[in-house]
């Protein structure tokens, strides 16, 4: 079985969040189970600078009525035989565009057309033809529609990692892609809908849709859901009936990449037997660097966007300041949120440190140095930080939502609190502080967390089952 993964990020080459982790690890797990997987992502300048690759070919892409050249570069996912193709075009895919930049629509649309041309090139040049094209998030959600327009009849799967990014933009993009209104399923110019919803089109044009946890799958198909994606999923269900497969498959993490016993960024490596002294050594170094004293330490690691619930931490601070704890916040994103955490750390400088940048080494040191990790997300499709934290013996204190529910057992390997409730969050912190002072209970929880299985095995098997079903369905 041959599968092409089409995505925007892939760790370690380019990673903004959990999507990068998944694309850098799921293909390896699938390969271990006998699937022949290749990955394609854009070849950004920053990848060229850090991970230069070998050029293997060149394709031509028609976009916005012009012919553009795209270079094909090839490498391997580290520690595996999985091929990764990098597509290079200086005009559309060289610089990583900021936040909500309009150019992003063009960039991803251009990338999606280039993927169609890559599929032709792979078949002709190296005789490799995917049985399935597996697209991820709105960045590549136009691929199923574009493949149809390029006469490539190949089953497609769309995985929604986060539906808060849907890619809504002007219908003018269809002109650049040379796609008529009647080809897109929702757009009819002159009618009420005048916006293109890229993720929505992806749902309607792909053969199957998945998301990254069962609870999130339920949340987004709940009839009370106000999300626009709900209407696309319902329409698809209506059009295709029982043959439409929509499924939640929990993400996993790569146990070779996330291992406190071999992580070279740590000040001290440790395992389930040596975690007490190992974590303390990391804590000493990290707290020294941050000018904080040796106390029970909570951390936050994640993108600083409203989804992640930093407002809950800010609103609770008056109530939790009486505890003798440190809170270390690491993340970058929304400027307003970054400013808010900086002013919080100024106000409570002996308790709170705010580090607003992206750092792979520091994030790993912080996972290892912390006793607890705060995950007050308002919604969380899957979440990987709770899995990484648990693997590093750090107990999550998390909202009862999405994949957090599917990966944390309350009071066993973490604490869950009512989503969005400051009062419940404060209660959960209280429980965490009390547990820490009860050494037996704390020890049991750490052991349980470190032993919880988040490796890809089970979920990779579910994807393989799905691939087989989809291949059968499309004959
Ligand atoms: P999301 O996909 O919503 O960003 P996840 O919990 O699924 O959230 O994954 C986040 C990933 O990004 C984790 O691997 C986490 O360690 C990493 N990460 C987030 N912020 C930073 C940061 N500032 N520095 C380093 N790594 C980060």
**Residue 189: predicted pLDDT:** 46
Mean residue pLDDT across the chain: 93
Per residue in 85-125, pLDDT tens?
Answer: 999 999 999 888 766 667 788 899 999 999 999 999 999 99
| Mutational test site, ligand 1, from 302, 308, 360, 402, max ligand atoms within 8 Å of CB | 302
CATH architecture of the domain covering 2-253+457-473: 3-Layer(aba) Sandwich (3.40)
What percent of the chain has a predicted confidence (pLDDT) above 90? 83
- CA 467, CA 470: separation in Å to the nearest integer? 5
The full set of domain ranges for the chain reads 2-253+457-473, 275-451
Per residue in 259-317, pLDDT tens?
Answer: 999 999 999 999 999 999 999 999 999 999 999 999 999 999 999 999 999 999 999 99
Enumerate residues 6+ apart whose C-beta is below 8 A from 188: 181, 182
Ligand 1 atom with minimal separation from the 307 CA: 3
465 closest CA partner among 210, 153, 146, 259 = 210
Ligand 1 atom with minimal separation from the 357 CA: 23
Nearest CA to ligand 1 atom 4: 17
SS (H, E, C) 133-193: EEEECHHHCCHHHHHHHCCCCCCEEEEECCCCCCCEEECHHHHHCCCCCCCCCCCCCCCCC
> In angstroms, how far is CA 286 from the centroid of its own chain?
26
**Residue 357: predicted pLDDT:** 96
Give mean pLDDT, residues 8-20. 95
- Ligand 1 centre distance from Cα of residue 358 (Å): 9
**Residue 203: predicted pLDDT:** 95
- Ligand 1 centre distance from Cα of residue 461 (Å): 25
- CA 167, CA 174: separation in Å to the nearest integer? 13
- Write down the H helix ranges in 77-129: 103-125
What is the CB < 6 Å shell around ligand 1?
Answer: 17-19, 21, 301-303, 330-332, 358-360, 363, 382-385, 388
Per residue in 343-364, pLDDT tens?
Answer: 999 999 999 999 999 999 999 9
Give the domain 275-451 fold: Rossmann fold (3.40.50)
259 closest CA partner among 396, 368, 179, 407 = 368
| Mutational test site, ligand 1, from 8, 9, 11, 17, max ligand atoms within 8 Å of CB | 17
What is the side-by-side order of every strand in the sheet holding 296-301?
352-355, 325-330, 296-301, 372-375, 395-399, 415-417
Residue 50, pLDDT above cutoff 90: yes
Enumerate residues 6+ apart whose C-beta is below 8 A from 198: 105, 108, 138, 141, 142, 166, 167, 168, 169
Do 2-253+457-473 and 275-451 share a fold? yes
What percent of the chain has a predicted confidence (pLDDT) above 70? 96
- Ligand 1 centre distance from Cα of residue 301 (Å): 7
Ligand 1 atom with minimal separation from the 385 CA: 6
**Interior angle at CA 305, CA 302 and CA 309, nearest 5:** 80
458 closest CA partner among 210, 211, 251, 218 = 251
Residue 190, pLDDT above cutoff 70: no
For 400-450, where are the E strands, in sequence order?
A: 415-417
What are the two backbone dihedrals, phi and then psi, of residue 208, each rounded to the nearest 5 degrees? Answer: -155, 150
**Residue 174: predicted pLDDT:** 84
The pTM (predicted TM-score) of the whole model is: 0.94
**Residue 251: predicted pLDDT:** 98
Nearest CA to ligand 1 atom 19: 302
- CA 60, CA 271: separation in Å to the nearest integer? 51
- Ligand 1 centre distance from Cα of residue 413 (Å): 20
- Ligand 1 centre distance from Cα of residue 294 (Å): 25
**Residue 24: predicted pLDDT:** 98
Q: Are 6 and 140 in contact (CB under 8 A)?
A: yes
- CA 240, CA 256: separation in Å to the nearest integer? 40
| Mutational test site, ligand 1, from 7, 21, 257, 303, max ligand atoms within 8 Å of CB | 303
- CA 70, CA 48: separation in Å to the nearest integer? 15
**Residue 309: predicted pLDDT:** 98
Residue 150's pLDDT band, with cuts at 50, 70 and 90, is confident
Give mean pLDDT, residues 236-264. 94
**Residue 270: predicted pLDDT:** 98
- Ligand 1 centre distance from Cα of residue 439 (Å): 30
Give mean pLDDT, residues 401-428. 98
Ligand 1 atom with minimal separation from the 364 CA: 16
- CA 442, CA 440: separation in Å to the nearest integer? 5
**Residue 186: predicted pLDDT:** 65
């Amino acid at each position: 079985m041959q599968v092409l993964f089409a995505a925007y990020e892939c760790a370690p080459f380019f990673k903004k969040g959990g999507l990068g982790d998944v694309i850098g690890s799921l293909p390896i797990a699938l390969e271990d189970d006998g699937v022949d997987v290749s990955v394609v992502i854009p070849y950004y300048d920053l990848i060229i600078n850090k991970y230069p690759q070998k050029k293997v070919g060149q394709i031509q892409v028609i976009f916005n009525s012009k012919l553009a050249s795209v270079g094909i570069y090839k490498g391997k996912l580290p520690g595996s035989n999985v091929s990764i193709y990098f597509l290079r075009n200086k005009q559309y895919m060289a610089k990583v565009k900021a936040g909500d930049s309009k150019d992003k629509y063009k960039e991803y649309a251009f990338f999606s057309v280039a993927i169609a041309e890559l599929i032709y090139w792979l078949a002709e040049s190296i005789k490799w033809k995917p049985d399935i094209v597996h697209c991820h998030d709105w960045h590549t959600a136009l691929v199923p529609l574009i493949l149809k327009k390029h006469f490539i009849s190949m089953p497609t799967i769309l995985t929604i990692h986060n539906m808060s990014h849907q890619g809504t933009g002007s219908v003018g993009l269809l002109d650049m892609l040379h796609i008529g209104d009647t080809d897109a399923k929702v757009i009819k110019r002159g009618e009420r809908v005048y916006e293109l919803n890229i993720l929505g089109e992806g749902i309607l044009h792909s053969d199957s849709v998945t998301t990254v946890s069962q609870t999130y799958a339920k949340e987004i198909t709940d009839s009370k859901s106000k999300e626009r994606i709900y209407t696309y999923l319902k329409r698809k269900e209506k059009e295709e009936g029982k043959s439409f497969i929509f499924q939640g498959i929990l993400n996993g993490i790569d146990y070779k990449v996330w291992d406190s016993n071999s992580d070279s960024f740590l000040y001290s490596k440790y395992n389930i037997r040596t975690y007490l002294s190992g974590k303390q050594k990391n804590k000493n170094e990290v707290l020294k660097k941050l000018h904080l004293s040796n106390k029970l330490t909570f951390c936050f690691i994640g993108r600083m966007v409203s989804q992640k619930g930093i407002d809950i931490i800010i609103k609770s601070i008056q109530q939790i300041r009486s505890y003798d704890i440190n809170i270390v916040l690491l993340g970058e994103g929304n400027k307003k949120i970054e400013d808010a955490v900086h002013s919080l750390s100024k106000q409570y400088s002996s308790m709170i440190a705010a580090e607003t940048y992206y750092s792979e080494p520091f994030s790993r040191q912080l996972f290892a140095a912390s006793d607890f990790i705060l995950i007050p997300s308002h919604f969380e499709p899957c979440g990987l930080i709770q899995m990484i934290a648990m693997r590093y013996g750090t107990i999550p204190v998390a909202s009862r939502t999405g994949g957090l529910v599917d990966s944390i057992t309350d009071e066993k390997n973490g604490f869950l609190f009512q989503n969005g409730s400051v009062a419940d969050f404060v209660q959960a912190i209280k429980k965490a502080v009390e547990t820490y002072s009860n050494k037996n209970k704390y020890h049991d929880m750490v052991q349980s967390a470190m032993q919880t299985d988040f490796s890809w095995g089970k979920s990779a098997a579910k994807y393989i089952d799905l691939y087989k079903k989809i291949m059968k369905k499309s004959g």
